[in-house]
Structure 1
């Protein structure tokens, strides 16, 4: 399950781990904040009771989105206007 909220300066997506029925291994919610210039991913670390935050630039986010559909390897994305043909 997930929720989407539009705040003043960000879009906030919260991912809720519903897991399998009867599963006791549920993970904490993941909160994704999409700002104009970066995206943050937050999750509570229950053993330390601290929120862990990872910040991705927009370039890193584009690379991540592309990587989800590619096989193993090393890649560099190029914009179509950067390719000379």
Structure 2
């Protein structure tokens, strides 16, 4: 399950784990103009863990999900 909210400066997506018996904490993804952050509470300390991806890293991640094992460099297209 997930939710989508549009805030003033970001789109916020929350992923809620409905999987098997070993459920993970919710993940909140905030998409800004220049980066995307992923936040999840640490299951023991309950402290937030945050990862920030640049838009280039996000593009590369999206491409990597559909490629076989290997090393890649995506070229920028003019346009």
CA RMSD across the alignment: 0.8
Aligned runs of 1:50-65 on 2, under 5 Å? 50-65=47-62
What TM-score, normalized by structure 2, do the two folds share?
0.94
Structure 1: give runs of 5+ residues left out of the alignment. Answer: none
Please state whether the residue corresponding to 1:47 is helix, strand or coil. Answer: coil
- Higher Rg: 1
The match for 1:76 is: 73
Give runs of ≥4 in structure 1 deviating > 3 Å: none
Aligned residue-pair number: 78
What TM-score, normalized by structure 1, do the two folds share?
0.88
